[in-house]
Structure 1
Amino acid sequence: MSPGDGADRPGPGPGPEGRAPLGQGVAGQGVAGQGVAGQGVVVTGAGRGIGAALARAFAEAGARVVVNDLDADAAKAVAEQCGGTAVPGDAAGVEGLAALVGRARDALGEIDVWCANAGVAPAGGSDAPAAAWALAWEVNVLAHVRAADLLLPRWLERGGGRFVATVSAAGLLTSLGSAPYAVSKHGALAFAEWLSATYRHRGLRVHAVCPQGVRTDMLTSSGAMGEMLLAPTAIEAEDVAEAVLTGLREERFLILPHPEVADYYAVRATDPDRWIAGMNKLQRGLEKGGAL
């Protein structure tokens, strides 16, 4: 736990434009719905997987949801499922993000919660093509930085907002077989930590979501390595979405849909040599099994 856990939470009072105050529950709501009913939520990369599950879960909890994805048909399908608004397009580049934020504000009035969920997982090590490194950094890190830059002025003026970063346990640990993914996810976690440490006292709440294996297309595309390492403990995307809503309600920075990740992280922090030796043992096993 950090020294600031549980501190500086916003007190009760009227929210902007008559909405419920950020982070406050509403009488009659269930646990998952507290603090999000009536809120304007944007989910990037929401055409499938975790993003789609997040969009549906927020909508079921009473939020007004903008569904974003590069795949316009997928975004529209999810929006129809949850009664949200589809705003397809790029959620990483400077121009694409500016357009997304503008259209989301047109649809919602205000953006109360931004879920930076879009992500990529290019394979390879130090030999990965420069384009793979650039893509991982652009989508997994810079998209978060650019979104925050666009959202912060209004959030700080209002005195609140929520930034939810879908990071991955790879941001706390590592990801064998994909250096660009592991490195960029560490960057995403570092930026989320910086945001929270810098702006928490001004009402910003930041949440870093760090699951291990989730039964999505990304896990399927990881092939034999994913099957050996992640599939045995993989959970559904809906489980991640439920953990996110609970984490928001409980005001937790680190959201761990796989609780055991906390134990792995503790070993990494207290005995890094032991942890690296264990990861190298896994690497050797993957190589022997033909997964790498």
Structure 2
Amino acid sequence: MTGVVITGGGGGIGAALARRFAADGARIVVADLDGDKVGEVAAEIGATAFVGDVASVDGVAKLVESARETLGEIDVFCANAGIAPFGGPESPEEVWARTWDVNVMAHVRAANLLLPAWLERGKGHFIATVSAAGLLTSLGSAPYSVTKHGALAFAEYLSATYRHRGLTVQAICPQGVRTAMLESTGTAGQLLMGASAIEPEQVADALFKAIEEKRFLVLPHEEVAGYYAARATDTDRWLGGMNKLQRKVEQALGDA
């Protein structure tokens, strides 16, 4: 059976991925900072819970070591944990650093530990939860937008560099998903993403469809492909549209 590790698995997309992989017969290690929540998910699906910071150098190393002891080998690694602090360039240095660690360096550190064994075997599967923010942008959070672009760039690098050596890489890029993260965005987030928000289970279904079709980009919101194309072919017009949306948000918040 496939050995799968999922970070940020205490709820939201991570928990939905864990349930979907479990239904497919995988053996799973699910990781999260919240011991209670990840313990509940693990107990529900018969997985092993790992409690700890999966972004730091030591934390990633401990996760990979523990998962290998449990699973024998890690076949699939879902780098799903992420944070989305509010703010722009005025955000404190420590916020930028922490967001970079969780949203980008956790992926880099995991891949660094996983790649030697995967390349030796000629097989491995790295799945990054990126967000449509990595393809487009994210109004309201510069740290999130910048780091999700970084996460996508790293996933692209892995695929371009190691695909011929057996590495499968996929980037999950949804817009709004009904999770605690979306709830934390308040009025602005609901205005931007509330109407089109989907359930975490729909993200998991989109991933498994993409796995069957061997696609790098996983787009649970299919319209994102059109936005991405528009961004590339007429960037100024696209930026103008995003700025119009920003002004709409500012007006709504001012009227609130």
| Residue matched to 1:207 | 170
**1:276 partnered with 2:239:** yes
> For the residues of structure 2 that align with 1:127 and 1:135, how far apart are their CA atoms?
15
| Residue matched to 1:20 | none
Q: TM-score, normalised by structure 2?
A: 0.98
Corresponding letter in the other structure for 2:116: P
Q: Tell me the C-alpha RMSD between the 2 structures.
A: 0.9
> For the residues of structure 2 that align with 1:155 and 1:249, how far apart are their CA atoms?
20
Q: Any gaps of 5 or more consecutive residues in structure 1? A: 1-37
> For the residues of structure 1 that align with 2:8 and 2:236, how far apart are their CA atoms?
36
Q: Where do residues 153-168 of structure 1 align in structure 2 (5 Å cutoff)?
A: 153-168=116-131
**1:255 partnered with 2:218:** yes
| Residue matched to 1:245 | 208
- Secondary structure of 1:190's partner? helix
Identify the match of residue 193 of structure 1 among 156, 179, 183: 156
Identify the match of residue 123 of structure 1 among 71, 83, 86: 86
Structure 1 runs (4+) deviating above 6 angstroms are none
Q: Where do residues 51-66 of structure 1 align in structure 2 (5 Å cutoff)?
A: 51-66=14-29
| Residue matched to 1:74 | 37
Identify the match of residue 74 of structure 2 among 96, 108, 111: 111
1:100 Cα deviation from its structure 2 partner: 0.4
Identify the match of residue 96 of structure 2 among 133, 142, 145: 133
| Residue matched to 1:101 | 64
| Residue matched to 1:180 | 143
Corresponding letter in the other structure for 1:153: P
Corresponding letter in the other structure for 2:34: D
What whole-Å deviation, never above 9, does each CA across 1:183-238 have from its counterpart, x for those lacking one? Answer: 00000000000000000000000000000000000000000111101010000000
**1:83 partnered with 2:52:** no
- Secondary structure of 1:214's partner? coil
1:78 Cα deviation from its structure 2 partner: 0.2
| Residue matched to 1:149 | 112
Corresponding letter in the other structure for 1:96: G
| Residue matched to 2:251 | 288
Corresponding letter in the other structure for 2:165: R
**1:220 partnered with 2:174:** no
**1:49 partnered with 2:49:** no
1:251 Cα deviation from its structure 2 partner: 1.1
- Secondary structure of 2:29's partner? strand
> For the residues of structure 2 that align with 1:81 and 1:87, how far apart are their CA atoms?
15
> For the residues of structure 1 that align with 2:249 and 2:66, how far apart are their CA atoms?
45
> For the residues of structure 1 that align with 2:33 and 2:190, how far apart are their CA atoms?
27
> For the residues of structure 2 that align with 1:241 and 1:156, how far apart are their CA atoms?
26
Corresponding letter in the other structure for 1:138: D
1:180 Cα deviation from its structure 2 partner: 0.2
| Structure that is richer in helix per residue | 2
Q: Any gaps of 5 or more consecutive residues in structure 2? A: none
> For the residues of structure 2 that align with 1:156 and 1:143, how far apart are their CA atoms?
20
Corresponding letter in the other structure for 1:146: R
Aligned-pair identity in percent equals 65
Which is further off, 143-152 or 237-246? 237-246
> For the residues of structure 2 that align with 1:251 and 1:161, how far apart are their CA atoms?
14
Q: TM-score, normalised by structure 1?
A: 0.86
Which is further off, 113-122 or 243-252? 243-252
1:245 Cα deviation from its structure 2 partner: 1.3
Corresponding letter in the other structure for 1:250: E
Corresponding letter in the other structure for 1:163: F
